[in-house]
Amino acid sequence: MNTVAFHTLGCKVNQYETQAMRERLEQAGYQVVSFHSQADIYAINTCTVTRRADQKSLQAIRAAGSRNPEAKVIATGCYAQTNPEEITDAARVDAVVGNEEKKDIVDIVEKVAGENPLISCRNISRAKEYNSLTISKFQGHTRAFVKIEDGCDLFCSYCKVPYARGPVRSRPLKDIEDEVRRLVERGYQEIVLTGINLGAYGRDFHNGLGLAKVIKKLTGIPRLPRLRLSSLEITEIGDDLVEAMASSGEKVCPHLHLPLQSGDDEVLKRMNRGYKKDDFLQTVTEIKNRIPHVSLSTDIMVGFPGERDSQFSQTLELVKRIGFMRLHVFTYSSRPGTARFPEEVPRQVKEERARVLHQLAGKLSSDFQAACLGERKRVLIEEGRDKRNGLLTGYSDDYLKVWIDGPDELMNRLIEVKVIEIKDGITLATTQKKP
């Protein structure tokens, strides 16, 4: 029996697609093994969201080739889609597979032979229909990701994703519902809806079907314990979506990841983000009014070309005013395939701004933890213990990570806990019996 090992970089969509490819190969008789072991086939699902992601992808491809010189090495994913020749020039690889071709992974693996790399990357900008990949489980995860949308039409000036993923394509609602039901039947306590531009779901259907209707349909599944949404663009959030979350009872998690990127209108315009800071603030205010206990996280990019100190200060002030519970900080770096701008911000300035933001992120996180002291929360306990202290860990509905002392029987269960202490940066809780 041939063995295959996967390595996945990047977003939840890539993780979902790796699981789908894994299942297809298992069904064809292949045995999946760890990426760090000897395998007959290595498949690296790459990412291109940043230049650093490109570098990590290439490192993983090279590592696979050196681990077993006789193995077949296959590169797929977004970096493979946008830079197939760069990969074949820089590493030993037997096949480069585009995102639309992932569904053909079994055929591609069996075709790989000979000295010349097989390149299977169609022009994804012409893709019109949603890819047919599906899953029945989510290996190695307590929660299951369900991809419902692919592609992006936003074309932010710093981003290559639209070129790697093509236009918006939405998954049929019946397929989504069937997959969620399968996963719930297998015991998954949380389903995370994900997509490249999740909030754009249904735009290509032209029939009024959108993310809000997907939520209402899925929350009607009796045995679905909890539903979570991955990253959403602020421009895609309407009253219907907020209402669907607010009226779901406890089923839809009151947490949203809303990429801000900058708090300055001029920078946002050059980024081609499609909103102003007041638009962002107004939508956040409406969300908080309708869902009082919602928690918010965000992405911030520092050092965008031409960003002045005063503009960075605008970002800091807006981040503080909104009170995000978590920040993901990215430092801008120019690269081929994105817009070119003059006025590059010096590296030392970018690093200092990133440091300041990381410091603010730590304070905001601590403030959020402190505000949760004494509160009762529903937490999904992970499968496994913290290696440092042996405690169980899990995430609450509003995405607070907690640690508890309890038996293994609590793993993969939704339980009620009470937050009792913040110690050395971790949130300690104790189990609570429901009344």
DSSP string over 170-188 = E--HHHHHHHHHHHHHTT-
At residue 433, the pLDDT reads 64
Pull the structure tokens for residue 28. 């064809």
What is the three-class DSSP state of 273? coil
CATH of segment(s) 3-122:
3.40.50.12160
At residue 114, the pLDDT reads 61
Q: State the CATH class of domain 376-432.
A: mainly beta
Q: How far, in Å, CA of 35 to CA of 43, rounded? A: 9
What is the three-class DSSP state of 145? strand
H or E element at residue 31? strand 31-33
At residue 187, the pLDDT reads 94
Judge residue 289's burial from the number of C-beta atoms within 10 Å of its C-beta, 0-12 exposed, 13-18 middle, 19 or more buried: exposed
Q: 235-294, pLDDT tens digit by residue?
A: 999 999 999 999 998 899 999 999 999 999 999 999 999 999 999 999 999 999 999 899
At residue 435, the pLDDT reads 43
At residue 254, the pLDDT reads 97
Task: List the chain domain ranges.
Answer: 3-122, 144-371, 376-432
At residue 335, the pLDDT reads 86
Q: What is the 3-state secondary structure (H, E, C) of 392-415?
A: EEEEECCCCEEEECCCHHHCCCEE
Q: How far, in Å, CA of 78 to CA of 154, rounded? A: 17
- Per DSSP, 252 falls in state B
Q: How far, in Å, CA of 334 to CA of 307, rounded? A: 14
Spell out, as residue ranges, where the chain has pLDDT lower than 50: 435
Q: Which pTM was predicted? A: 0.95
Handedness of CA 184, 189, 195, 197 (dihedral sign): positive
Q: How far, in Å, CA of 109 to CA of 72, rounded? A: 8
Q: 97-146, pLDDT tens digit by residue?
A: 999 999 999 999 998 866 678 899 999 999 999 998 999 999 888 999 99
CB 219 within 8 A of CB 180: no
Q: Which ranges of 207-346 does DSSP label H, i.e. alpha helix?
A: 211-218, 239-246, 265-271, 277-290, 309-322
At residue 338, the pLDDT reads 87
Answer yes or no: CATH 3.80.30.20 is held by domain 144-371.
yes
Q: How far, in Å, CA of 197 to CA of 154, rounded? A: 9
Half-sphere exposure of 267 (CA within 13 A, CB side): 25
